[in-house]
Chains A and B, each alone.
Chain A
Amino acid sequence: QVQLQQSGPGLVTPSQTLSLTCVISGDSVSTKTVSWNWIRQSPSRGLEWLGRTYYRSYWYNDNEPSFRGRLIIDADTSRNQFSLHLSSLTPEDTAVYYCARGVSVGATLLDSWGQGTQVIVSS
């Protein structure tokens, strides 16, 4: 059974970059039939899918259009983990951030989730 363990800061300064990591156990970040996703939840915006990375002989990324330009999701095969890097933070980025595995056709069925990381953007 796959388990996802998240880590990262709980408080970030506006204009800075948020980096969160999701360590995978029970699967490989390089598995060719899955994707590795980031989702966030805030009271004002509800649940939002941010983007994903996946390996199909090459590494690919898909990001929700509104986050393009300031979101990078990458993978570290040596540590079997993937990470989110969200730049130019504003208080509107305050949310609980989740990592999740995507499976099934298109690797878009989110079947396993991390425990969540509360992130507050404030000076």
Chain B
Amino acid sequence: EIVLTQSPATLSLSPGDGVTLSCRASHSVGNLLAWFQHRPGQAPRLLIYDASNRATGIPARFSGRGSGTDFSLTISGLEPEDFATYYCQQRSQWLTFGGGTKVEIK
């Protein structure tokens, strides 16, 4: 099983701040990594697929990069609706998810 490790677990930030979230895979997943945003009580929302492609309707302030085992999601200028938990997910070998990074308001 491919294990995804996200860091940090929690970030306390202010609206307007920039942030970069990390996701590390235990084995190479190529570029088959996605990022999701999850707000309480809502369905997870696909943000980035295949490491760096924004999903339909996702604002340009969200960007992803990486390949192999190291990936990152950058949000350039947090909007109030961006305070949520972010998960990475690989689909190279079955499907597994990271433990999530919660972005909370400072």
Binding site for B on A (CB under 8 A): 37, 46-49, 62, 64, 98, 100, 104, 106, 108-116
Q: How many residue pairs at the A-B interface have CB separations less than 8 Å?
A: 48
Contacting pair B43 A47 (CB below 8 A): no
Residues facing A in B22-54 (CB within 8 A) are 32, 34, 36, 41-46, 49-50
Q: Which residues of A lie under 8 Å from residue B97 when comparing CB positions?
A: 46-49
26 CB < 8 A contacts A-B: A46-B97, A46-B99, A47-B87, A47-B89, A47-B97, A49-B94, A49-B96, A64-B94, A98-B43, A98-B44, A100-B44, A104-B49, A106-B91, A108-B91, A109-B46, A109-B91, A110-B36, A110-B44, A111-B49, A112-B46, A113-B43, A113-B44, A113-B45, A114-B43, A116-B41, A116-B43
Across the two chains, which residue of chain A brings its CB closest to B95?
Answer: A49
Q: How far is the CB of A26 from chain B (nearest CB, A)?
A: 13
Q: Which residues of A lie under 8 Å from residue B42 when comparing CB positions?
A: 115
Size of the chain B interface, CB-CB below 8 angstroms:
22
Q: How far is the CB of A34 from chain B (nearest CB, A)?
A: 14
Contacting pair B44 A109 (CB below 8 A): no
* Distance, CA A115 to CA B44, complexed state (A): 8
* Distance, CA A47 to CA B78, complexed state (A): 25
Contacting pair A108 B95 (CB below 8 A): yes
Q: A109-B91, A114-B43 are in contact. List 5 more A-B contacts (CB 8 A).
A: A46-B100, A49-B96, A108-B32, A108-B91, A115-B42
Q: Which residues of A lie under 8 Å from residue B95 when comparing CB positions?
A: 37, 49, 108, 110
* Distance, CA A46 to CA B42, complexed state (A): 16
* Distance, CA A47 to CA B97, complexed state (A): 6
